[in-house]
Structure 1
Amino acid sequence: MNGMTGAAVAGSAGGGDVGRARMMVFRAFLAQNVAVGSAFGGFGVSVLPLQQMYGASRGTTTLALALCVLVLGLVSPLVATLIGRIGLRWTMMIGTLISGAGYALLAIAPSMPIVLLLYALPIGVGLAMFGPFPSSVLASNWFRHNPGPALGVANMPLFVALLPMVGLILIRDHGLVAFYLTLAGLHVALLPIILGVSDAPEGAAGQPGEGHGHGGGAMAPARTLLRSPAFWVMCLGAGYLNAVGITGVSHLVAFLAERGVAASAAAGLLSIMGAAAVIGSLAIGFLCGRFGAPIALAMIAAGLAVSWLALLGTTSFPLMALSTLMLGAGGAGVFPAVNMLSARLFGQASLARAIGLFGLVTLPLTFFLPPLAGVLRDMVDGYLPVVMIIIGGCILMMLIFLALARSGRQVNARAVPV
């Protein structure tokens, strides 16, 4: 955490121990990074070795991460209830143990069906219990007056940038088993950090995620959100962009290999994508504040389309690096932008419910798009149709968010008294 970011986070704390609050954000940052870095960064560099080890198709292999994401979305609403019953510390501890056990079992998995099962259950459930959702709750609980900077820091996916390069070396020199055991070891090392988690400052009653707190009475019922056209527009647009980000993590190395890019260069580009995600997580707050969340999401969609078009048309490493930089920054910016858009559309009190429903409603997109991309690639023996569909969809989502931004401006203009 650099000085400026730390100052911003500290400045948002209201009363209480600022030093302890910073440590809670740091714990959230580490938990989120181990969870997301292992699941996404680790998977991206292990796709081809998994396929070769078990003789599976590309579509079957990439189904592993899709199953993990599916279980993550299904379990997250239950995790919110669990946090309310036993608190963040024990929820995250149990999740870390479950996920770590999943990676240890992957090291001895005898077949691809077992690999798929392990990614779905222990890893998917664990990701929900100690990954981005509970980590974000922890950070926002300690900086409830202005959670934006704390959320930006907690959601920086630094390990997504580091693990592909580490994984490439481990897999090359020691094999896939050593890589999975290393991921399990990261989870074990995280346990003492999670043990120091405290749900919220003393006296901060009623905050989301507190063991004994209760939310305010202004939260909108689920049926109200589900009847809102704006909610479905947000789900369609941002859900597709999320799915494109997951597809990129799952297929980038294989896509680049098909384009004739060396394995070391491909892993380096995957690390650049992860590093850019750190930038995107922090930068999205500025874009949303300056232009509004719908415009920021439209810019993300445009950036993803341009990036994939560039990757399709060049094998120049500098241009590919710039493209993957945009891919990483854009993909990481979707979740914070959705949080800000949900708060603007439905109010801060309804944010948790809106995000929970968003995760469930968008599951078909995030679950099916990555493996379908692999299946389509296997059918036509090439990634060209896959990338063209991604580009076309991103352009459509850009237009949708621009229309949402325009409709929001018109509503605000009508609300201004003449």
Structure 2
Amino acid sequence: MSAPLPAGRARMMLLRGFLCQNVAIGCAFGSFGVALIPLQEKFGVGRGLASLGIALAVMMMGLAAPLAAPLINRIGLRAMMVGGIVMSAAGYVLLALASNIGMVLFAYAVPIGLGLVGFGPLPSTVLAGNWFRSNPGPAAGLVNMPVLMVLVPLVTLPLIREGGLSGLYLALAALHVALLPFAFGIVDAPEDEVAGTAAIRSVPGHHNDNGTGLGTGGAVSATTMLGQPLFWGIVLGSGILHAVGIIASSHLVAFGIERGIAAGQASLLAAVMGGASVVGAFGSGLLCARLGGGRALALIAAGTATGWMALFLTQSLWPMALGSLVIGAGGAAVFPAISVLAGERFGARSLTRALGLFGLATLPMNFGLPPLAGVLRDMVGSYDPVVLVIVAACIGVAALYFAISRVPVRLAPTLA
């Protein structure tokens, strides 16, 4: 029987993971929407091309995510997360020096996108799970609370006013450098535990490998998963909801300005959305515990549709802020709920594989739909059709996940 974890040290590892995840997500997503119009104006490009940067970062995250677990096993969490911080910081320096939109898109796609994989949500969640093995769910929720998604939008506009886009990006790079001393203190796991083994246990939903998932008794092969209609149903809903979240991060400020709200107030909408995501990330696990993954996702999708409809029906700040609150909470709740649903349906031993395949399979939606929203807005000259398409899509996803929740869980042949 293993000795109890040193509580103080475990909490310090949780804090380090929390800081890493926040700098990764807060800098990339929290600043992008506020900087979108200045970026568009600086390089003289359309809204669709200007918004492509964050989609490229998400694409790189999806492509590289399946390699994260083997890399953690090979070099350890500390080396991977320090490397991710350095790479991401270099990306923001490149943004500050960019002389054309091509350099901007490269910076988001390669150093920032790979940096997000290196020290963002996945390794931070693994770190939390390694140090809180007996009850990893709350630790994973805490480490993924995106507090900087509240703060970064509030300071982005003043930084742009004082130092332009270059000043903003250099400030974000400096924040990465300030994070390095905390990252150097990361210890992968207590008692020299192998991080890769803990990673499987650390994801919410792992506890369902008890006769209730497809993976009971063994790991489900990729071929078996890809042959399951259930897998593709989860992929479709997940891809749409994640793409909607990226659209919100990229376009919400521009949408508010189009509706007649001052730029500073529109930035407040992004901060409200970020604040709600803090609650959504932690509350998602509680919702899944009560309703199950499928019904929780159906409720999240319905709530997201309601939030966007609220934005569509008003031009006043406070009703728009309420809609942003609902959208932010729903967007942050998607990944934990997808993890729970995957654990319920495919079992613990197949969970890492399932999430990796989800990331690859949803790439076309995550990469294509956010820039397409910008192109549609440019063609029509208004965000109205974009919002109506989002509302209809989220209603469809709600129906899809409700149907999935009613499909009986049955055993299937498993292949390692």
TM-score by length of 2: 0.92
- Give the Cα–Cα distance (whole angstroms) in 2 for the partners of residues 236 and 179 of structure 1: 36
**Partner in structure 1 of residue 352 of structure 2:** 352
**Partner in structure 2 of residue 23 of structure 1:** 12
Q: Which amino acid aligns with 2:403?
A: A
**1:22, distance to aligned residue in structure 2 (A):** 1.2
Instruction: Indicate conservation of the 8 Å contact 1:59/1:374, yes or no.
Output: yes
**1:81, distance to aligned residue in structure 2 (A):** 1.7
- The answer as to 2:407 corresponding to 1:407 is yes
**Partner in structure 1 of residue 45 of structure 2:** 56
- Give the Cα–Cα distance (whole angstroms) in 1 for the partners of residues 198 and 111 of structure 2: 22
Distance 1:292 1:14, change over 3 A: farther
Instruction: Indicate conservation of the 8 Å contact 2:73/2:196, yes or no.
Output: no
**1:139, distance to aligned residue in structure 2 (A):** 0.9
**Partner in structure 1 of residue 232 of structure 2:** 232
**1:408, distance to aligned residue in structure 2 (A):** 3.4
Instruction: Indicate conservation of the 8 Å contact 1:83/1:209, yes or no.
Output: no
Within a 5 Å distance, the mapping from 1:60-99 to structure 2 comes to 60-99=49-88
Write the deviation string for residues 328-383 of structure 1: whole angstroms up to 9, x where unpaired: 00000000001111111111121111111111111111100100000111111111
Q: Which amino acid aligns with 1:270?
A: A
Q: Which amino acid aligns with 1:240?
A: I
**Partner in structure 1 of residue 323 of structure 2:** 323
Distance 1:122 1:162, change over 3 A: same
**Partner in structure 2 of residue 132 of structure 1:** 121
Q: Which amino acid aligns with 1:283?
A: G
SS at match of 1:179: helix
Instruction: Indicate conservation of the 8 Å contact 2:189/2:195, yes or no.
Output: no
Write the deviation string for residues 159-198 of structure 1: whole angstroms up to 9, x where unpaired: 1111000111111222111110010001101111111111
Distance 1:208 1:169, change over 3 A: farther
**1:229, distance to aligned residue in structure 2 (A):** 1.8
**1:325, distance to aligned residue in structure 2 (A):** 0.4
Runs (4+) off by over 4 Å = none
SS at match of 2:315: coil
Q: Which amino acid aligns with 2:236?
A: L
- The answer as to 2:133 corresponding to 1:144 is yes
**Partner in structure 2 of residue 7 of structure 1:** none
**Partner in structure 2 of residue 46 of structure 1:** 35
Instruction: Indicate conservation of the 8 Å contact 1:164/1:270, yes or no.
Output: yes
Write the deviation string for residues 214-244 of structure 1: whole angstroms up to 9, x where unpaired: xx99332211221222211111111210110
- Give the Cα–Cα distance (whole angstroms) in 2 for the partners of residues 244 and 159 of structure 1: 20
Farther off after superposition, 268-277 or 313-322: 313-322
Unaligned residue ranges in structure 1 (runs of 5+): 1-12, 211-215, 413-418
SS at match of 1:15: coil
- Give the Cα–Cα distance (whole angstroms) in 1 for the partners of residues 354 and 4 of structure 2: 29
Distance 1:108 1:146, change over 3 A: same
**1:206, distance to aligned residue in structure 2 (A):** 6.8
Q: Which amino acid aligns with 1:250?
A: S
**1:86, distance to aligned residue in structure 2 (A):** 0.5
Q: Which amino acid aligns with 2:345?
A: L
Instruction: Indicate conservation of the 8 Å contact 1:87/1:209, yes or no.
Output: no
**Partner in structure 1 of residue 414 of structure 2:** none
Q: Which amino acid aligns with 1:40?
A: F
Instruction: Indicate conservation of the 8 Å contact 2:126/2:195, yes or no.
Output: no
TM-score by length of 1: 0.91
- Give the Cα–Cα distance (whole angstroms) in 1 for the partners of residues 4 and 221 of structure 2: 32
Write the deviation string for residues 64-86 of structure 1: whole angstroms up to 9, x where unpaired: 11011101111111222211110
Write the deviation string for residues 112-148 of structure 1: whole angstroms up to 9, x where unpaired: 1110011101111111111111111111111122211
**Partner in structure 2 of residue 313 of structure 1:** 313
**Partner in structure 2 of residue 361 of structure 1:** 361
- The answer as to 2:268 corresponding to 1:268 is yes
Q: Which amino acid aligns with 1:62?
A: S
- Give the Cα–Cα distance (whole angstroms) in 2 for the partners of residues 207 and 85 of structure 1: 9
Q: Percent identity?
A: 53
Instruction: Indicate conservation of the 8 Å contact 1:88/1:209, yes or no.
Output: no
SS at match of 2:355: helix
- Give the Cα–Cα distance (whole angstroms) in 2 for the partners of residues 322 and 388 of structure 1: 18
Farther off after superposition, 199-208 or 386-395: 199-208
Instruction: Indicate conservation of the 8 Å contact 2:130/2:195, yes or no.
Output: no
**1:14, distance to aligned residue in structure 2 (A):** 8.0
Q: Which amino acid aligns with 1:158?
A: V
**1:209, distance to aligned residue in structure 2 (A):** 6.4
- Give the Cα–Cα distance (whole angstroms) in 2 for the partners of residues 408 and 277 of structure 1: 31
Unaligned residue ranges in structure 2 (runs of 5+): 200-208, 210-216, 412-416
- Give the Cα–Cα distance (whole angstroms) in 2 for the partners of residues 185 and 205 of structure 1: 32
Q: Which amino acid aligns with 1:75?
A: A
**Partner in structure 1 of residue 386 of structure 2:** 386
Farther off after superposition, 197-206 or 111-120: 197-206
SS at match of 2:382: coil
